[in-house]
Amino acid sequence: MSIKVSALLNPFSSERKEFEVAPGQSIAEILKKIDSFHAVNSGWRVLIGGTVITDFSTVPADGEHVYIKLVPEGDNQEVGGGMKVGGGMLVVLGIIIAAAASWTGVGAGIGAALIGSGIGMLTGGTVLYNYQIPSLNDREKPEQDPSIRGSRNQMRPLGYIPVLFGRRRIYADLATSSYTWVDPADGSQYLYQLFCAGQKDQLIDKDTIKIDETLLKEYSASGSIEQVLAGTDKLLQMKIAYGEDTPPLVKKCVHEIQLNSLLKNKTDEGQDGSVVRTTPAGTTEINADIFFYSGLGKYNDKGNVEGTSVTLGAWYKQADEDDSAYKPLGFFAAGSNTIYGNELKTKRYAIHKTGLTADRWTVKISRLSGDSTDSKIVDAVYVGSIRAIKNEAPVSKEKCRRLTLIGLKIKASEKLNNIVEQLNFVSMAKLPMYTGNGSGVGAWEMRLTDNPASAALYVLRGDFSQQKLDKNEIDWPSFEKMYTWCASHGYGCNEYVAESMPVSSLLSAIASTCRADIFKSNGKMTVVQDIARDGFVQLFTPRNSHGYAETLVMADIPDSLALQFVDKDAGFA
């Protein structure tokens, strides 16, 4: 018998030298035959049976396969020296192989070849470090596909529906829980999200839609926001629904149980390693996915990846039934639950079961193949998520008709993966705008505007008004005058109200943007503004000004004021 040795001795070539050495020699002794200058644990990488060897006194067993790689170390000057030393090593190795009796199965041809490599090393100038010899750590590296898990937009289950006045940048709230989805057809992973931007009476500027500070179109495959909104982009789809009957893209309630749990045949305690989960009541569909994060395959003795397989099982039953009632859930692969693979790249598989009676269901996923202990086999499988789908919309038709909802579907890719940053955009409200044609309710139309008078009327008569006033309860001429003055002087009200406020406080905040006061007088809501008047308010004469006195206060007026504000010229940042 003998010990097989595979050596990468020329950093300028991927050629691997194969030879044999007589058994009973330590790694250090083998290296001494290669390196007559020094045999220390520096500059060499040694692998035996998938294990990196750092103790060079180790004696390989008879019949084992040893992998050796030359890696000179040090700074630039030391690397240059290492090159010369490495070249010398190879010259000596060539001589030893040609003459030494302890080496078997090699001839003078290999010796001559190694002498040539040594000469090439002596004349070289750079050492290549990146050629890998086979090992679970240093062989062919597993290639992990990107995955996606959620976003940073918040969800406020007990919050109020925001109301937009004027034009503002909006960081929209989630209207329902986000969820991932694995397509059984090709294993692609998607993130589904549904956002609420507020009332239906608004218009989102599509060219301002961003994820964090990057325009959404930059994450798309097409680079076009039009294709994203049309649903034709390969990576991103978005649909905006202004007061429609159903929510966009997210059509059903999905409860996702995220696991990302290693699936074993047996636990460390010797128990059944199956993953078992029960869905909420009302479940009519089940979607479950598994994935091989590092791929599926095994290394042969030469370090190349070959095929291997893993057999799984998936079952379901009604939650209150005995375990004997388990039925097959479906197949992860085409017509089979035995999954074959021969590449180290993330693979995802899914089962989608439909047509269930609305109920609670228990899902069981098992690894039927034994747990692998061979370090050359890569077959670790994980249960990703188990999803329960209800046959009902996440937002009722009545609410959809009053809201602006945004559906977003993202394919996991190198551009977008892991946790997605906050979706945001600039939107402008549609409010009652005074046309100037006459007076009264007929002179106002719903248009894009930020006029404070329009905002006040929307509070009093809009769809979100808790006590919508009748047209006869409004002093229309006062609001029309307020609108005209604000329009001519450039006053606007731009605010996104996401918290509960009394109507009186909200009207006061709107009125403060144009030095006005809105209150009820003689049974009607009216407006008074602090503005310059065209006529005299009071005429002073000697007759009515007897004893008049005035005090002047010489205030110390500051040179400047430092205030924080939302700058619309900077994208409402």
Per-residue pLDDT, averaged over 461-486, amounts to 93
485, 192 in Cβ contact below 8 A? no
Task: Report the amino acid identity of residue 354.
Answer: T
510, 452 in Cβ contact below 8 A? yes
Per-residue pLDDT, averaged over 206-222, amounts to 94
pLDDT of residue 389 exceeding 80, the answer is yes
Rama region for 468: left / alpha / beta (φ>0; ψ in -120 to 50; rest): beta
Structure tokens at 454: 């329009």
98, 111 in Cβ contact below 8 A? yes
Higher pLDDT, 492 or 138: 492
Least confident of 245-254, 284-293, 388-397, 563-572: 563-572
Could you tell me which of 273, 312, 295 has the C-alpha nearest to residue 379? 295
pLDDT of residue 349 exceeding 50, the answer is yes
DSSP 238-271: EEEEES-SS-SS--SEEEEEEEEEEE-SB-TTSS
Per-residue pLDDT, averaged over 473-486, amounts to 96
Q: What is the pLDDT of residue 149?
A: 61
pLDDT of residue 159 exceeding 50, the answer is yes
**Quick one: the chain helix, strand, coil %, rounded to 5?**
20, 35, 45
pLDDT of residue 122 exceeding 70, the answer is no
365, 288 in Cβ contact below 8 A? yes
pLDDT tens, residue by residue, 289-347: 999 999 999 999 888 999 999 999 999 999 999 999 999 999 999 899 999 999 999 99
Binning pLDDT at 50, 70 and 90, where does residue 541 land? Answer: confident
Q: What percent of the chain has pLDDT over 90?
A: 58
pLDDT tens, residue by residue, 6-55: 887 765 556 677 778 888 888 888 877 765 444 344 467 788 866 777 77
Q: What is the pLDDT of residue 91?
A: 38
